[in-house]
Chain A
């Protein structure tokens, strides 16, 4: 039984060189080098590690983006993935996370069989961390986000993951099929290989438009169908310097804190 894995990836502008359009408040993407989103590289690496262990594993990368996103798919293939699918159509442009996950969930359904879907936690251009979980909801799959350790049992069905939280972690066991989102602590992505590059460029990568995906361009995908839009974006003003309290004892410091908070009507 060969495992089938789908990895959701996104081509993003290199954050070292980003600019914001003052009118639309969105990222200016023209002329900015594009890269494979970092967390997505971790998602792919984990799939490739499974393939290292079980060589008959089949990995498909799926992405939504403009035609040049194909280059990112070639990079993923050169790292070791087997197939790539590009969801690309003018009608998909301007999609927010909800609309994007509609398109990607449709693409995944069209691909058909899968045991595990990996995605990166979030993309460095939007930082929403919403698309992965939304896809899982739409496909009615169990999901675990912020995966920092992954273990597949010998039955190739039972998965144990360590889920990173701000103040600790959770150990979760779940069964395939499922959706997992990767964080950078999960692994170190491999490089493309030279042989992989020469093979990857020869791979035919299908482009699926809205019609191929069977999505409603009025209600499910694109700018108009997106329930959210960027109202305003700004750089938050730096917070003022905090006040350090000191005293001879903990009680004295706490007393000073309480007096301070009361005087500001916080308590």
Chain B
């Protein structure tokens, strides 16, 4: 067992940290306050290869690994969780299922635009009545001979308002339950496809979270992704990987909150002492550091297992469960360590606390992670 990062992974961290510090951090508070999607930084990240990290160069990717991708989402989220989830949803939830389940034609057609960031990706599974119970899909896809006809709607779709390429789940045969679900590649601009309501959220306010509406939306026959009736499998294995992205986001939020809190504690004096010199508070920080490091080891292990192509479903669920709960715990504590200032928008920790909450909910709630983990213990 070797706990050292490779040279490549170390350089990726250095590069993303430099980028995040210079380009992302300075606008993070504004992106949050103005609920603004940071388009300018998405463009910059695209140029630097950050939107296609774990994909081979033949499809326009960076030729990197999943751990480098996890480190990238972590470092971005350390200063701006909105930016982290844009990369995560694009990479894990749209480019990856096309890479893994797509035909050669689909990969050639869609991947180079996604991995180069010329186009942004999104993933449509959740519906008003199908959240954790993802099998309860209402969106229908009818076989019309030379095309599919999609009807229904999706909610809470990350990147929705800015994406060009969507991986969308729909029922092709309701009588077969989860075996009647199929996956489709839908392009922005397809007839009958529109973006609905944009959500007004507690955190990750710069991220575009929207409804997708399909009214007699015509999808070409060749845009079925994976086999007919295998959409639920596509969705579940996509979410296994997605959890690594969200776990990395949670890890980054936690680390970012601790870093700014340590700086604050070195400067802030009460009772003629720096907070950094008060033992009770030092113990708090020791606890936070240990929890974050434990989360990091779980997240990196899951990414490393994905790179090794061994089953990693339970490991990514544990990583996401633990990292998300760590992010919530750490950010809440960091607001507390800032005192009244931490509750104001003059300091970033209140934003980090609001951003952390979603990591316990999306791409599988903490409870859903426990279902996966428990199934690995007791069997399904």
The interface of chain A, by Cβ under 8 A from chain B, is 71, 74-75, 78, 191-201
Please tell me if the beta carbons of A191 and B11 are within 8 angstroms of each other in the complex. Answer: no
B50 within 8 A of A: yes
List residues of chain B with CB within 8 A of the CB of A201.
6-8, 11
Please tell me if the beta carbons of B11 and A78 are within 8 angstroms of each other in the complex. Answer: yes
B208 to chain A, nearest CB (A): 24
Please tell me if the beta carbons of A197 and B47 are within 8 angstroms of each other in the complex. Answer: no
Residue of B6, B7, B18, B68 near A194 (CB, 8 A) is B68
List residues of chain A with CB within 8 A of the CB of B63.
195, 198-199
A135 to chain B, nearest CB (A): 28
Determine the distance from Cα of A200 to Cα of B12 in the docked complex, in whole angstroms: 12
B41 to chain A, nearest CB (A): 12
Per the 8 Å Cβ criterion, residues 182-215 of B in contact with A are: none
List residues of chain A with CB within 8 A of the CB of B79.
none
Nearest 7 Cβ contacts at the A-B interface: A194-B49, A195-B62, A194-B62, A195-B49, A192-B15, A197-B11, A193-B49
Determine the distance from Cα of A201 to Cα of B15 in the docked complex, in whole angstroms: 14
Question: What are 24 pairs between A and B in contact, CB < 8 Å?
Answer: A74-B11, A75-B14, A78-B11, A191-B18, A191-B19, A192-B14, A192-B48, A193-B15, A193-B47, A193-B48, A194-B15, A194-B50, A194-B62, A194-B64, A194-B68, A195-B49, A195-B63, A197-B12, A198-B8, A198-B62, A198-B63, A201-B6, A201-B7, A201-B11
B53 within 8 A of A: yes
- Measured CB to CB, the nearest residue on chain A to B116 is A195
List residues of chain A with CB within 8 A of the CB of B48.
191-194
List residues of chain A with CB within 8 A of the CB of B19.
191
Determine the distance from Cα of A198 to Cα of B57 in the docked complex, in whole angstroms: 10
Other than the given A191-B19, A192-B15, A194-B62, 14 more pairs (CB < 8 A) read A71-B7, A74-B7, A192-B48, A193-B48, A193-B62, A194-B15, A194-B64, A195-B57, A197-B8, A197-B12, A197-B15, A198-B8, A198-B63, A198-B64
List residues of chain B with CB within 8 A of the CB of A71.
7
Instruction: Give a binary string over B47-69; 1 marks a CB under 8 Å from any A CB, 0 the rest.
Output: 11110010001000111100010
Determine the distance from Cα of A196 to Cα of B53 in the docked complex, in whole angstroms: 11
B165 within 8 A of A: no
Please tell me if the beta carbons of A196 and B7 are within 8 angstroms of each other in the complex. Answer: no
Please tell me if the beta carbons of A194 and B57 are within 8 angstroms of each other in the complex. Answer: no
Instruction: Give a binary string over B63-77; 1 marks a CB under 8 Å from any A CB, 0 the rest.
Output: 110001000100000
- Measured CB to CB, the nearest residue on chain A to B60 is A195
Please tell me if the beta carbons of A75 and B57 are within 8 angstroms of each other in the complex. Answer: no
Determine the distance from Cα of A199 to Cα of B6 in the docked complex, in whole angstroms: 14
- Measured CB to CB, the nearest residue on chain A to B15 is A192
Determine the distance from Cα of A121 to Cα of B50 in the docked complex, in whole angstroms: 32
**Which has the most chain A C-beta neighbours within 10 Å: B47, B48, B68?**
B48
- Measured CB to CB, the nearest residue on chain B to A78 is B11
Determine the distance from Cα of A197 to Cα of B15 in the docked complex, in whole angstroms: 9
B371 to chain A, nearest CB (A): 34
List residues of chain A with CB within 8 A of the CB of B47.
193
B167 to chain A, nearest CB (A): 23
Determine the distance from Cα of A199 to Cα of B56 in the docked complex, in whole angstroms: 12
Determine the distance from Cα of A23 to Cα of B19 in the docked complex, in whole angstroms: 39
Determine the distance from Cα of A202 to Cα of B287 in the docked complex, in whole angstroms: 40
List residues of chain B with CB within 8 A of the CB of A191.
15, 18-19, 48
List residues of chain A with CB within 8 A of the CB of B6.
201
Determine the distance from Cα of A194 to Cα of B14 in the docked complex, in whole angstroms: 11
List residues of chain B with CB within 8 A of the CB of A199.
63
A86 to chain B, nearest CB (A): 15
Determine the distance from Cα of A200 to Cα of B8 in the docked complex, in whole angstroms: 9
B241 to chain A, nearest CB (A): 18
List residues of chain A with CB within 8 A of the CB of B12.
194, 197
Using A194-B72, A196-B49, A201-B7 as known contacts, say yes or no to A78 and B15 having CB atoms under 8 A apart.
yes
Determine the distance from Cα of A195 to Cα of B50 in the docked complex, in whole angstroms: 9
Determine the distance from Cα of A194 to Cα of B72 in the docked complex, in whole angstroms: 10
B359 to chain A, nearest CB (A): 24
Determine the distance from Cα of A199 to Cα of B68 in the docked complex, in whole angstroms: 14
Per the 8 Å Cβ criterion, residues 1-58 of B in contact with A are: 6-8, 11-12, 14-15, 18-19, 47-50, 53, 57
**Which has the most chain A C-beta neighbours within 10 Å: B19, B53, B62, B72?**
B62
Determine the distance from Cα of A196 to Cα of B72 in the docked complex, in whole angstroms: 15
List residues of chain A with CB within 8 A of the CB of B61.
195
Please tell me if the beta carbons of A75 and B62 are within 8 angstroms of each other in the complex. Answer: no
List residues of chain B with CB within 8 A of the CB of A78.
11, 15
